[in-house]
Chain A
Amino acid sequence: GAGVSQSPSNKVTEKGKDVELRCDPISGHTALYWYRQRLGQGLEFLIYFQGNSAPDKSGLPSDRFSAERTGESVSTLTIQRTQQEDSAVYLCASSLGEGLGYNEQFFGPGTRLTVL
């Protein structure tokens, strides 16, 4: 079956421009996560959705970052007025849901964002 997909795969933008990143989770997965990964570093949690609501936005680094999810499916991560430090790979993951028990996150291929 189809996995998590993300678009675009690569995005090069100029400093100060807005960008929108898209994630299509696995069908039926109610939980969706956004992470940022800088070169050679670990995953940095940004935000997670349970259904269409975001109970935890604590990882968003600034008010330039926002995310939404509609129809318990597609999610978009928007970065306004991009800065060079925003350059990273943005990974999306989905899982069946939150709670106890084995609950694997399935990752998309990521969007590589480069801010010039």
Chain B
Amino acid sequence: GQNIDQPTEMTATEGAIVQINCTYQTSGFNGLFWYQQHAGEAPTFLSYNVLDGLEEKGRFSSFLSRSKGYSYLLLKELQMKDSASYLCAVRDSNYQLIWGAGTKLIIKP
């Protein structure tokens, strides 16, 4: 079967750095996405990785290792508005997105 694993919940302090991990087992691989979802709102796109390595975009970076079936999302200089759920999704060989259950990130002052 296909599976995406993420921690259910994480807590971090305003101004700090947090790393949210995602491991996957899927039928083929055609890219990995990270989305942010604030409570009661729709998911919004954060990043896309298809090759190994780190993609940096402002305060957010995403890393991929295809051989390990592993990705992480790194959030720097945390702000209160970063409190949200972060969803990892992998596009399989049929170009279907397989979604993780999401990691709820709680930012404390």
Q: Do A and B bind each other?
A: yes
What total count of A-B pairs have CB within 8 Å? Answer: 46
B41 touching A109, Cβ below 8 Å: yes
| Chain A interface bracket (under 10, 10 to 19, 20 to 34, 35 or more) | 20 to 34
What separation, in Å, do the CA atoms of A110 and B96 have in the docked complex?
20
Beta-carbon nearest neighbor of A48 in chain B:
B96
Residue A104 is within 8 A (CB to CB) of chain B in the complex: yes
Q: How many Å from the CB of A88 to the closest CB on chain B?
A: 13
When A41-B101, A42-B100, A43-B87 are in contact, do A98 and B42 touch as well, CB less than 8 Å? no
A43 touching B95, Cβ below 8 Å: no
Which of A45, A91, A108, A110 is within 8 Å of B97, CB to CB? A45
Task: Give residues 95-109 of A contacting B (CB, 8 Å).
Answer: 98-109
Residue A18 is within 8 A (CB to CB) of chain B in the complex: no
Which of A41, A44, A110 is within 8 Å of B42, CB to CB? A110
B48 touching A45, Cβ below 8 Å: no
A45 touching B42, Cβ below 8 Å: no
Interface centre among B43, B94, B98 (most CB of A within 10 A): B43
A107 touching B43, Cβ below 8 Å: yes
When A42-B87, A102-B48 are in contact, do A107 and B100 touch as well, CB less than 8 Å? no
Q: How many Å from the CB of A82 to the closest CB on chain B?
A: 22
Which of A33, A42, A102 is within 8 Å of B102, CB to CB? A42
Task: Give residues 75-97 of A contacting B (CB, 8 Å).
Answer: 91
Residues in chain B near residue A108, CB distance under 8 A = 42
What separation, in Å, do the CA atoms of A98 and B30 have in the docked complex?
11
What are 13 residue pairs bridging A and B, where the CB atoms are less than 8 Å apart in the complex? A41-B101, A42-B99, A42-B101, A43-B87, A45-B98, A45-B99, A98-B95, A102-B50, A103-B31, A104-B33, A107-B42, A108-B42, A110-B42
Give 8 nearest A-B pairs by CB, closest first: A42-B101, A107-B42, A43-B99, A104-B45, A98-B95, A42-B99, A102-B48, A42-B102
